[in-house]
């Protein structure tokens, strides 16, 4: 049954990905799309330089956000945790926005580096406050939300005091794959290639950590080292994803919860399932963003927020007695 569900997830991702190549302002037939993928044609730019890289980026970014969310929730053992709600995405966004505003001509590779520094800064702020306050899981989520709001206000301040330079930052901050091309693909996919194996190596350790730190220590696992390694993976995945397409909200929250409902709590299945479901969420959001009212494009982040915000409210109601 589990193998069937994983296979169905991969099949759905492939079918929806292929269908997304037909979505846009220009209507193309199946034969035109297939021929353009196999050989050059008059539609080469539309398919191979516009829609196909967006497809590849949507899958990569969604997988990165979904996997990051599953790792964060596994480390903190808090179902309300996710990279965007804990401030990691906001920290990456603030650093990347600063680069776009003050150094708009900076090399492309500087964006993920700056975003990573911002994500690490936000994670450091959370860890510092957690060390001094020793909060409960619910209060730790509130700390993350507060830090996220603080860093988001920094983004707003930058855009207010630099109104001339905000056009590029505004398009990027809404969480959109508009204007992205093959240049951004290596950033997210090299990150996934490096961190996916490490994340799967951490899977059974996260399961044991769920039994408590004393049990984990008795079984030969160092909780502090394991938590640091998993958190570092989560921050890098979220930060690089944000650097590619901006802040696409709630994917890191939704994907792990959907994965738990379908595949259970075993992290060996949960992590790849969260990555696959995250990819599916971003892919569908981007497809709808450019297909609802072409040639006008909505930001994909707006569509994920329409789903994610009500679900977050539902989670708050579900865990309102949890402290």
Positive or negative CA dihedral for 279, 64, 9, 39?
A: positive
Is residue 257 included in any domain, yes or no? yes
Q: Give domain status of residue 211, yes or no.
A: yes
Confidence of residue 318 (pLDDT cuts 50, 70, 90): low
User: What pLDDT is stored for residue 170 in this prediction?
Assistant: 66
Cβ proximity of 267 and 206 under 8 Å: yes
Confidence of residue 224 (pLDDT cuts 50, 70, 90): confident
What is the residue-wise DSSP string for 202-268? THHHHHHHTT-HHHHHHTT--HHHHHHHHHHHHHHHHHHHHHHH---TTHHHHHHHHHHHHH-S-HH
On the question of pLDDT at 320 being above 60, the answer is no
**What average pLDDT does this structure show over 127-135?**
77
pLDDT at 69: 92
| Residue 261, domain member (yes or no) | yes
Q: Is the dihedral of CA 248, 250, 254, 256 positive or negative?
A: positive
Q: Is residue 30 part of a domain?
A: no
At residue 166 the predicted structure's pLDDT band, cuts being 50, 70 and 90, is low
Res 118 pLDDT > 70 = yes
Mean pLDDT for the chain overall:
83
| DSSP string across 162-203 | -GGGHHHHHHHHT---TT--TTTHHHHHHHHHHHHHHHHHTH
What's residue 189's pLDDT? 94
- Write down how long the chain is: 323
Confidence of residue 1 (pLDDT cuts 50, 70, 90): low
Bigger pLDDT: 305 vs 197: 197
Q: Cβ–Cβ contacts within 10 Å for residue 128, how many?
A: 10
Q: Is the residue at 187 inside a domain?
A: yes
pLDDT in tens, 20-40: 888 888 888 888 888 888 877
Average pLDDT over residues 110-128: 88
* Residue 182, in any domain of the structure: yes
pLDDT at 107: 86
User: Which of 13-17, 35-39, 69-73, 234-238 is least confident?
Assistant: 35-39
Calculate what percentage of the chain has a pLDDT beyond 70: 92
At 62 the pLDDT is 93
On whether the CB atoms of residues 157 and 93 are closer than 8 A, the answer is no
Global confidence as pTM: 0.90
Distance CA 275, CA 61 (A): 9
Q: Would you say residue 27 lies in a domain?
A: no
Decide if 279 contacts 90 (C-beta within 8 A). no
Give the pLDDT mean for 171-194: 84
- What is the structure's pLDDT at 63? 95
The per-residue pLDDT for 59 is 94
More confident call, 291 vs 238: 238
Residue 1 lies in a domain: no
Percent helix, strand, coil in the chain, to 5, is: 75, 0, 25
| Measured CA distances, 256 to 249, 250, 276 (Å) | 14, 10, 10
The pLDDT confidence band at residue 212, using thresholds 50, 70 and 90, is: confident
Mean pLDDT (whole number) for 81-110: 84
Distance between CA 258 and CA 229 in Å, rounded?
24
CB atoms within 10 A of CB 100: 23
Which CATH number covers residue 270?
A: 1.10.3470.10
Our count of domains for the chain comes to 1
What Å distances lie between residue 1 and 4, 8, 69, 107, CA to CA?
5, 10, 25, 47
| Structural domain of 242 | 64-318
């Amino acid at each position: 049954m589990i193998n069937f569900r994983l296979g169905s997830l991969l099949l759905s991702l492939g079918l929806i990905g292929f269908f997304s190549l037909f979505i846009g302002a220009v209507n193309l037939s199946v034969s035109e799309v297939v021929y353009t993928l196999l050989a050059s044609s008059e539609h080469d730019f539309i398919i191979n330089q516009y829609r196909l890289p967006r497809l590849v980026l949507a899958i990569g970014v969604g997988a990165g956000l979904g996997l990051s969310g599953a790792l964060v929730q596994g480390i903190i053992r808090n179902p309300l945790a996710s990279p965007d709600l804990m401030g990691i995405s906001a920290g990456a966004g603030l650093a990347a926005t600063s680069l776009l505003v003050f150094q708009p001509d900076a090399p492309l590779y500087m964006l993920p580096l700056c975003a990573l520094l911002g994500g690490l800064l936000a994670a450091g702020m959370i860890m510092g406050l957690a060390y001094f306050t020793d909060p409960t899981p619910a209060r730790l989520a509130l700390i993350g939300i507060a830090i996220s709001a603080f860093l988001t206000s920094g983004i707003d301040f930058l855009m207010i005091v630099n109104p001339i330079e905000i056009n590029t930052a505004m398009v990027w901050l809404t969480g959109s794959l508009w204007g992205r091309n093959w240049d951004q693909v290596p950033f997210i996919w090299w990150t996934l290639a490096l961190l996916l194996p490490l994340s799967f190596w951490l899977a059974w350790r996260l399961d044991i950590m769920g039994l408590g730190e004393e049990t984990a220590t008795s079984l030969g696992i160092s909780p502090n080292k394991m938590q640091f390694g998993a958190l570092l993976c989560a921050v890098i995945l979220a930060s690089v994803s944000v650097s590619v397409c901006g802040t696409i909200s709630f994917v890191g929250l939704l994907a792990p919860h959907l994965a738990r409902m379908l595949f259970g709590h075993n992290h060996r299945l949960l992590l790849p399932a969260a990555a696959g479901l995250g990819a599916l969420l971003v892919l569908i959001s981007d497809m709808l963003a450019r297909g609802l009212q072409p040639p006008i494009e909505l930001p994909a982040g707006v569509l994920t927020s329409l789903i994610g915000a009500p679900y977050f409210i539902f989670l708050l109601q579900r865990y309102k007695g949890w402290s």
